[in-house]
Copies of this chain bind each other. A is one copy, B any other.
Amino acid sequence: MVKFEGFDFIDGGVCAAKGFTASGVIAGIKAGNTTKRDLALIKCSVRCRTAAMFTKNKVKGAPILVCKEHLKDGYAQAVIVNSGNANTCNDNGIEIAEEMCSLAAESLELEKEDILVGSTGVIGQKLSIEPIRNVITELTGSLSEKGSPLACEAIMTTDTRKKEFAVEFELDGKKCHVGGISKGSGMINPNMATMLAFITTDVKINGELLQNALRKVCALTYNMVSVDGDTSTNDSLILMSSGLAENNEIICEDNRYDTFVNALYAVMMNLARETARDGEGATKLIECIVNGAPNEETAKIVAKSVISSSLVKAALFAADANWGRILCAIGYADAEFDINKTDVELASAKGKISVCKNGAGVDFSEEIAKEILSEEEIKIIVSLNSGDGNAIAWGCDLTFDYVKINAEYRT
């Protein structure tokens, strides 16, 4: 976890912010699944100003189309989410997604239009409403302030770790919170958002600034993660604000807005980072830090190019300091800069080593490099020495298990 000054990380995940409860139950959505939670609910005691970002893939899951419709007024009060089936590319997808909202609305005594919906899993198979109808009372009846881990578990597919963070901070002398849960392990190359991420806050902030903050932080976090270069059809990032923290409403980009953005960054950056660490089959988290780019956009492009390279990823799986592949990936990044000024260092908890200076190799100890790269968190530090643009991107190594998981996923 990466800590940030001024923010206390606390338990509670998506329920850390005032007003929110959550639950997760076993519905048996995927045939044969009777042991894994696969249906989640997040609910607020009041209607929430809600910001959202969805996949840029032309193929959009039915839940996304329904969310967009239900978010036309900018408010929502609950989200129902299933794993095991993406409810995408079906002829009855929208009908089923609406039905999920109706079931939740009825059981919670809310308006259907205040319910959002998410689905993740296999694309192109019909989702049956029956298993969901069968457990809807159990789902709403078990809502609890301690429910975040259960909801988090219920949205997982090939994920191996729960991704859940929350921070506490003060605005106008009032305790405020931002918390979230996230899933995503394969088909991860968010271009707007990761597969599914739900963030809650009790900070009172106007709707436009809420959306601006989400867009800004998403660009620096989820959009800087790649596991396999595949942008999902169901990427959804939803940020709900209950406004129950009793701070004076944030209505302009003042320093309180900045504090909120920083809190959002502290939560979303950690969620995004853990998404990379939990990439399908991954054994290592790879963090590429690019400094000294002509501008921020160039830094981002270079950082993403490095963490997306199959050859770099495979080399790091083997803890092999094959820096030529790193330089190659920097070289084919679609951006303008002078490659001959490029320095590359490799770092981890075991130390730091310089492997490339001014675009050419330097002598280094293969033994020390191996020791550094054998850690579970690797940093690739790229200095372009051509300006002050910086960026960080997160990825993971490419392993036998990535192939195994994806060659067997559907069968």
Interface residues of chain A, those whose CB is within 8 Å of chain B, are 56-59, 86, 88-91, 122-125, 186-187, 189, 191, 228-233, 308-311, 314-315, 317-318, 320, 322-325, 327-332, 337, 339, 356, 359-361, 398-400, 402-404, 406-411
Contact = CB atoms under 8 A, between A and B. Distances in A.
A360 B90 contact: yes
A187 B123 contact: no
A125 to B, nearest CB: 7
B332 A89 contact: no
B310 A228 contact: yes
Contacts of A399: 403
A356 B233 CA distance: 16
Nearest to A309: B230
A322 B329 CA distance: 30
A229 B308 contact: yes
B323 A124 contact: yes
A123 B89 contact: no
A310 to B, nearest CB: 4
Given A57-B331, A361-B89, A361-B125, A410 B186 contact: no
Given A90-B360, A311-B228, A409-B322, A59 B328 contact: yes
Contacts of A191: 332
Contacts of A402: 310, 314, 403
Contacts of A59: 327-328, 330-332, 339, 359
Nearest to A91: B360
Given A59-B359, A359-B89, A124 B327 contact: yes
Contacts of A360: 89-91, 124
Q: Which 7 residue pairs spanning A and B have beta carbons closest together? A: A123-B324, A59-B331, A314-B406, A318-B407, A231-B332, A58-B339, A124-B324
Contacts of A404: 400
A117 to B, nearest CB: 19
A316 B123 CA distance: 16
B57 A407 contact: no
A291 B315 CA distance: 37
A308 B308 CA distance: 12
Given A57-B332, A228-B310, A328-B232, A407 B315 contact: yes
Contacts of A327: 59, 89, 123-124, 233
Q: Which of A310, A356, A361 is packed against the most chain B CB atoms within 10 Å?
A: A310
Given A89-B327, A230-B309, 12 more contacts: A56-B332, A57-B328, A57-B332, A59-B328, A89-B360, A123-B327, A191-B332, A310-B402, A311-B406, A314-B402, A320-B407, A322-B409
